[in-house]
Amino acid sequence: MGARTGSRLKAAKAATPAKLAVVAGSGMGALADQATVDRRVPFADIDGVGACTVAGHAGEVREGTLDGRSCVWVLGRRHGYERQSAAMLRLVDWLAARGVTHLLVTAAAGALRQSLLPGEIVVARDVIDRQNRRWSQAPRADRPEARLALDPGLVAALECAATRAGVAWHRGTLVCGSGPAYETAAEVRYLQESAGDVATMSAAPEVIAANRIGLPVAIAALVTNPGTGIAPSVLSHTEVLDVGQRSVGQVGAIVRQLLVEL
C-alpha cells in the first residue's frame, strides 16, 4: 500500500463518527432517559437474544443521540445463570452490524475491599472469568478461543471521562461469577486472595463477544454493596437495584464525558 493510499484510509477512519453502545447494569435502565431516542428494539425482536427474565433489566435497545452524539443504550442483558450467555454474542454482533464502534459495559458489583463504597465506580483493568466459557466456542473450528481483553485506549478514555465528570472511581479487577447466588464469605476471602476488587454476575460474556469481532470494549462496575462477610448486612437484589437507580446520574455523567472523549 502506498503512503498516499494509507493516508487516505487513515483520514477516512478518523472521519468516521464514533457510535457508543452502553450496556446498562441492574437498576440503571434510566440511563437512557436523557437521550433523544430514534428507535426502540425489544430484545425479543433480535434473533437469538430473547426477552429478559431478571428484575431491573428492561430488555430493550434504544438508538439515538445524547448531546448530539450517536449512542445506543442496551437496557438489560441475558445472564449465564439463565443459560443465555450465548445470547450476548448475538446481541453484540447485532450492535456491531448497526454501526456501533465502541462498547461500554456497566455492571452492578459487590465490593471485595472495605475501601470500596456503594455508589463508587471501578474501572476494570482486568477480568477474572469464573463462568463456564465453553458456550463461547462456536461450532466452526476456525473461530478463535474466548478472549477477555479490554481495550487500553477506551479504558483510558473512560478513566478520563470519570475524572472530568467528578465521579469517585478506582482501578481494579472485576471477577465475573456464575450466579445467581451471591458469593459466600469464604468465597469472598478466596477472591480477595486472587486479587479481585469487585464481583459481578455479568460483563465477561459481552467482553468475549466484543473481542471476537474486534470491537473496543471497557467496563465500568458500579459498587452496589459490600461482599458477604465485609459488612454485617444480608445481601439482596432489592439493595442492588436501589443503589443502581440512585447512581444513574453519575454513571450518565461519565457516559456524557466519554462521548466527548471519543
What pLDDT is attached to residue 166? 95
Could you tell me the domains of the chain?
16-261 (3.40.50.1580)
pLDDT digits (tens, 9 = 90+) for 6-28: 444 344 444 567 899 999 877 77
Cell 469481532, residue located = 213
What pLDDT is attached to residue 30? 82
What pLDDT is attached to residue 13? 45
- Residue 134's contacts (CB-CB under 8 Å, 6 or more residues apart) are none
The model's pTM is: 0.84
3-class DSSP string for 36-98: EEEEEEEHHHCCCCCCCCCCCCCCEEEEEEECCEEEEEEECCCCHHHCCHHHHHHHHHHHHHC
Each residue's pLDDT expressed in tens, for the chain with a length of 262 residues: 444 434 443 444 445 678 999 998 777 778 888 889 999 999 889 998 877 776 656 789 999 999 999 999 999 887 666 666 678 889 999 999 999 999 999 988 888 998 999 889 999 999 998 876 554 444 444 444 567 899 999 999 999 999 999 999 999 999 988 877 778 888 888 888 888 999 988 888 899 899 999 999 999 999 988 887 787 776 666 766 777 677 788 999 999 999 999 9
